[in-house]
Amino acid sequence: MITIGCHVSIAGSLAQAVSRAKERTCTTFQIFTSNPRGWKTKPLTEEDAAAFRLAVAESGIAPVVAHMPYLPNPATPRADVREKTVAAIEGEVERCRMLGIPYLVTHLGSSLGSDAAAARERAITAIGRGADASEGEVMILLENTAGTKNSIGTTFEEIAALMEGVGRQGPVGVCFDTCHAFAAGCDLRTAEATDAVVKHLDAVIGLSRLKVIHLNDTISELDGRRDRHEHIGLGRIGVEGIRSVVTHPALHDLPFICETPVDDRRDDYGNIACVRKIAGE
């Protein structure tokens, strides 16, 4: 059985996110631990953390994955944003420690048109501060990007270089997003194409560092450099492509998180059910 889930809301309380995950038949799930669209976060109390941990333990769902908010930019050349970004990463790591969440996914940010090499060094420093703060309890996962203008972390080679730099402060892993990868030029439409991508990832980064897969179809054409998620099987990757990912021997046992739309065509429950059907379950 594959481990499949989606991103769920924490509206009301963090513990309610577990109930929402169960309603959607998740066997893994992802959350923002705080407001994803602002810099200010409501302090996490020991009571809230204990309630969340208990709800997760009773649900049997694992692993739980957290995602960094939208505003932090590890690669930014702006000193004020860089300072707030470092504080946000360190803060999210601490919240994950309190909540017992083992993985924190982060985007690598944008250079905003500045020198790419300098932007990578800034990202290494910012994420490295978070890795140091984790004290081995939370692994930060670097997420591949869709190759949009000025984005950092599009290729496996660039991610490997960032991992090497950050790794001086603590262990880091990878979250592989299928939508982003396809938009950046990784063909995932057939078993043969996906196997080639997996072998490339293994050669450059190492499959042991791959911890989570964001399983998303995409509106973007191959190498279209557009970060546009689509319902499972309804985009350019398609049913056969999704099947090639979830049934690949090197990927099958990893947690899959859907970050797909919710609209009149399909909801989270429908996309999770679709993945299970595609996987032959």
How far is residue 28's CA from residue 7's CA, in Å, rounded to a whole number?
Answer: 9
The catalytic position among 23, 70, 83, 157 is 70
- Our answer to whether residue 107 is catalytic in this structure is yes
The catalytic position among 180, 209, 236, 243 is 180
The catalytic position among 20, 95, 107, 236 is 107
CB 10 within 8 A of CB 44: no
The catalytic position among 24, 67, 209, 243 is 67
- Our answer to whether residue 143 is catalytic in this structure is yes
The angle at the Cα of 127, spanning 246 to 101, to the nearest 5 degrees, equals: 55
The catalytic position among 158, 177, 217, 230 is 177
How far is residue 215's CA from residue 211's CA, in Å, rounded to a whole number?
Answer: 13
- Our answer to whether residue 259 is catalytic in this structure is yes
The catalytic position among 226, 259, 267, 276 is 259
CA atoms within 13 A on the CB side of 61: 29
Question: Sign of torsion, CA 12 81 181 205?
Answer: negative
- Our answer to whether residue 223 is catalytic in this structure is no
- Our answer to whether residue 227 is catalytic in this structure is yes
Which tokens hold the place of 136?
A: 């081995």
- Our answer to whether residue 177 is catalytic in this structure is yes
The catalytic position among 82, 229, 236, 243 is 229
How far is residue 232's CA from residue 190's CA, in Å, rounded to a whole number?
Answer: 15
- Our answer to whether residue 252 is catalytic in this structure is no
How far is residue 245's CA from residue 27's CA, in Å, rounded to a whole number?
Answer: 18
The catalytic position among 7, 20, 24, 214 is 214
- Our answer to whether residue 229 is catalytic in this structure is yes
- Phi-psi domain of 190 (left: phi exceeds 0; alpha: psi -120 through 50; beta: other): beta
- Our answer to whether residue 214 is catalytic in this structure is yes
How far is residue 137's CA from residue 160's CA, in Å, rounded to a whole number?
Answer: 22
Q: Which H or E run contains 158?
A: helix 156-166
The catalytic position among 92, 94, 217, 227 is 227
The catalytic position among 37, 46, 192, 264 is 37
**Dihedrals φ, ψ of 238, to 5°?**
80, 175
| Active site (catalytic) residues | 37, 67, 70, 107, 143, 177, 180, 214, 227, 229, 259
